[in-house]
Each structure stands twice: as structure tokens, then as C-alpha cells.
């Protein structure tokens, strides 16, 4: 079993990357879908109880937020993989402006996440860490380079 944590701004391609790479193999755990921390935790508990691989598809901007997931995952001795979505603020705002309805994130939300966002580090406890960027028009993951 494995757990995956996405890290990045809103409108950085996280959900699109999930659909392209993990839709058929992992359960998507997302605040956007579940709306409350309690529901999210219940779904995580279900994944742990049933050995269901999952992706935490949230912004996860700070070490503290990531540590709360890492603690639970490591307690069950599952490998944990992180994907950091490199997106500059201008690109995230531009991609967000193409969204409609409830998918459109208020600009202040993206600005707040950008302010909080801390680039992940190997010492956080990830078993593997990847860097996702837009290369030739496609979201592409590469091994983490310090």
C-alpha cells in the first residue's frame, strides 16, 4: 500500500495530475470533495482499514499540515510519496481564471496559500519526493533535486 501527498497552490494541476496518473489505482481524498476535516479523516481511516492506496489532493502548504498526515501514514508503516507542484503565482491565477462556478477559487485564497507555501524537504520523512512542472504543455513528474 502507499499514500501520496500532493503539495501546491490551488489551480496548479493537482487534480488533473491525479486523473491522469492515479484515477484507476488510488482513492482521491480531497477537502474540495469532502468539505470537512471529519469526513476526510473518516475516509483516511477507511483507506487504512482496507489497505486502499490513496492520494491526498489538497494544497498541504506547510510542514505542520504535512506532518499530521505523515504521522498517521508512518504509524501504519506505509510508504509515503510526495509530489510538489511547481507553479508560479501568475500561472496559478491564470489557470484559476479559466475555471467556472464553484471550481473558481477566490484570488485571496490562492494568495494566502502562496504566502504559506513551504517547499517540501527530504527531512520531512517522505520515502520519495517528486517535482511536477509543466514541460512541453504536459504536467510531468521528475525526481526531486535539492
* Phi-psi region at 115: left, alpha or beta (left = phi > 0; alpha = psi -120 to 50): alpha
> What domain range is 106 assigned to?
3-143
Per-residue pLDDT at 122: 87
Per-residue pLDDT at 66: 98
Query: Tens digit of pLDDT for each residue in 102-142?
Result: 889 999 999 999 999 999 998 999 999 999 999 998 999 99
Count of domains observed in the chain = 1
Per-residue pLDDT at 87: 81
Query: Tens digit of pLDDT for each residue in 16-69?
Result: 999 999 999 999 999 888 989 999 999 999 999 999 999 999 999 999 999 999
R_g of the chain, CA atoms, integer Å? 15
pLDDT over 80 at 146, yes or no: no
Where residue 22 sits, what CATH number does that domain have? 3.40.50.300
**C-alpha closest to that of 48 among 68, 26, 76:** 76
Amino acid at each position: 500500500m502507499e499514500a501520496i501527498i500532493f503539495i501546491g497552490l490551488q489551480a496548479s494541476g493537482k487534480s488533473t495530475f491525479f486523473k491522469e496518473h492515479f484515477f484507476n489505482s488510488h482513492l482521491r481524498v480531497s477537502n474540495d470533495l469532502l468539505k470537512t476535516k471529519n469526513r476526510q479523516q473518516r475516509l483516511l481511516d477507511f483507506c487504512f482499514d482496507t489497505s486502499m492506496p490513496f492520494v491526498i489532493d489538497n494544497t498541504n502548504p506547510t510542514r505542520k499540515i504535512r506532518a499530521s498526515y505523515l504521522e498517521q501514514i508512518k504509524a501504519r508503516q506505509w510508504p509515503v510519496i510526495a509530489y510538489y507542484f511547481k507553479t508560479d503565482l501568475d500561472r496559478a491565477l491564470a489557470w484559476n481564471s479559466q475555471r467556472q462556478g464553484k471550481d473558481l477559487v477566490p484570488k485571496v485564497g490562492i494568495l494566502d496559500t502562496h504566502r504559506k507555501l513551504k517547499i517540501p524537504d527530504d527531512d520531512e520523512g517522505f520515502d520519495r519526493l517528486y517535482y511536477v512542472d509543466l514541460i512541453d504543455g504536459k504536467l510531468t513528474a521528475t525526481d526531486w533535486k535539492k
